[in-house]
Structure 1
Amino acid sequence: MYKILAVDDAKDTLLLLEFDLSAEGYQVVTTDAADSALRLLEKEHFDLILLDMYMPGITGIAALEVIKKKEALQHIPVIMLSAADGEDEIVSALELGADDYVTKPYIAKVLLARIATSLRLMEKNRELEMLATTDFLTGINNRGRFYELASKAFTESVRQTSELVLAMFDIDLFKLVNDNYGHETGDKVLLEYTQLMAKVFREHDILGRLGGEEFAVCFPHTAIGEAINACERFRLCLEQHAIMPEKQEQETLFVTVSIGIASTGIASSGLEDLIRRADLGLYQAKNTGRNKIIDADKLQEMNETQESLIDYIDTVNDEKTVAKVPQAQELPGIDQKIGLGNVLGDESLFKEILVMFYQDHHEDKEKLQSALSAKDNVTTKHLAHTLKGVASSIGAMSLFERAKALDNAISGGDKDQYQLLFEEVAAELIRVMAGIEQELAEQLHDVSS
């Protein structure tokens, strides 16, 4: 049943409105002043407002202006009532956001028809907004809506100097679920995964599906420890959650999740920086065994501690006129501080990982081009997604960002961007590979021979 607020200073008009609308099945609340109407709107939900244009005190036009400026109220359709039919006043009301107007004394059939039309339009707008902001499969916020809500929460946390946490989630080995059980079961996994998220996390936490098996949660007004505890509860619940495949003959399925988490406890330049740090934690979790949470704040603190220690050693050596500790040469496209930090400063292990990266991915440019030419989006996404993860593990952050952009474009079906984004990935991949070839030529030769 729709609930309508009728506002008019003429009590006889209010009585008629209540009678006619109630007879049509609407729930009606009446008031004879705009200020009391505004108070009611703050406390109760209404589906439509009938608002007299001319009233003593706060006029209907002034009340309309207030309503349309409030984010929580501006979606409610408003039909203006007026005993006069002055064009200027009607135009002013429509320009302020009124949906329609009816002259008084009103004709019941005409008013009821206009109310029905306004309510139908409101429902259509709600459906369109839902389609534009909701992930079609899981029903939670899609990528765009998540970024919009998380950006507002980040801005609010800065204004109130309160802590905010962001966590990135990736279902482990999800491609194998689709390959071994089929896409119907894959969709069922995503649905049950999302339902579990909704049960574990709080109502005011912001949930979003960023694409494929990637999800995110923004925790407003939350300390990092609280968010880690919540994520751990979810990780354990998911680990123990049995999923029945679509085909009866297939065995019960269990999935796990890797999580990266970052907070504004460490200074962030904006939401994108927070997401980038959480992403680094996520890929550290994926690359060190999966089914775990990595606190990116601690990774950053560790990197900063290592950098401070090197600076200290350099200073001491300067004072003793001793040669400085030799530093690894910079590789094009690779931030060695991040790469070394991912392996706890083990330089020999880092070089081994670079060799493995070269062996596994030096043909990715050709593979991506071939998949794009064949319009094989599954293979293209798999290559971009994998490259994104390994790029972050070696500190190739520019390559990471470009591969991530291509991965996201494929998830969002933005076909016009595929070739352009591929070219950016290819150019950066060539730069990184050339640097590794130059720096580690001897190791690469040993491995190949």
Structure 2
Amino acid sequence: MNYIDNIAFVILLTIGVGFFVKNITKLIRNIKLGKEVDRSDNSNARWKNMAMIALGQSKMVKRPVAGILHIIVYLGFIIINIEVIEIIIDGIFGTHRVLSFLGGFYSFLIASFEILAVLVLVSVTVFWIRRMILKIPRFWNKEMKGFPKNDALYILYFEMVLMSLFLIMNAADNHFQELNVGNPISQYIAPLFHNLSFTAVTAIERTAWWLHIAGILVFLNYLYYSKHLHILLAFPNTYYANLNPKGQFTNLESVTSEVKMMMDPTIDPFAAAPEGAEATVPEKFGASDVADLNWVQLMNAYTCTECGRCTSSCPANITGKELSPRAIMMKTRDRLEEVGENINKNGKFIEDGKQLLSDYITPEEIWACTSCNACVEECPVNIDPLSIIMDLRRYLVMEQSAAPQELNSMMTNIENNGAPWQYNQMDRLNWKNE
């Protein structure tokens, strides 16, 4: 490389990494719009979750075909990109195959990369066939239209191109082929270039090299806009997942405070605030917008892989109800992104007349949920759609009294009779006299 190439590479690298850092900063800010929640307990269990689920892919292999193929792509993508270290060093300093001095270890690394590249190509091809030819139903739900559907295909094509460029780069590298090390795959591609001039082969190798590193930087920055953000967020998401038994719901602190105040005879609920002090506004019960959710729930929305395992296991969805747990997460993320763009534009959030509930997620969807936790159990990265559904329900019930008639009747009976039935307490034992 000459100095112009070095400078061009540094500029490309700086732009790519800089844009990525900018997007990650926005991502962190958006997640922090959520309420605080303490997930610092039981660190041993949390590290174990992260190791087993995010790193070990333990929940992926519950569906063996997709699970094994995903592990191949995951390992291939992570391991092959170790080679980016060498590319960055070569690009900045103008060296070529700078790590080849490692000898046998370098040979082992490149051989592993090439074999994995082929396995990744096979795996993503199978993924494409499953999605576009076999048309597995969970990939074709109504929410998987437009960008969500195309996003999955873009990533598959990206991976196909990146792996192909890696192999072409190795095969067209005369110096690398002459070393005759670490090229179990590229050595069979190299003969395709034997009838070309040295200049032409060098141009092919350099073009593949540049496109490969540019593609990696583009892919890195595409992650923010893609469901494949889970490549980064799966680790914190599994670490901060709820460790409580499934089905155990938390008490609302706002409700607890209200009850304590009602039971304390020394408190005057109608008393005015002391002079000079601001009157406290009661905390909202439940959630109607993304800022009412906690930050882990917002991270869940960004982590969603849109794989559809939750929806394919949801009994409400299976029976034709409107609910799709995957759509709940996608809509939450869409609303969060809209709020984030509002902040970007105005410096702070300016009320836009919209909210998550009703404008994005309808009451019909959340009341269709049976709260069975199938979606939570199935998610390969421990996302919890049910927690969002329950917080939206709480808002409808406790802030708007907008529960279905059957539930309103039951709650009225509990209030009046101390039980969900319409019978007076004095009449409950009348059956004994019959």
When normalised by structure 2's length, the TM-score is: 0.28
Question: Rg: which structure is higher?
Answer: 1
- Which structure carries more relative contact order (alpha carbon 8 Å, separation 6+)? 2
**Larger proportion of helix:** 2
TM-score scaled to structure 1, two decimals?
A: 0.28
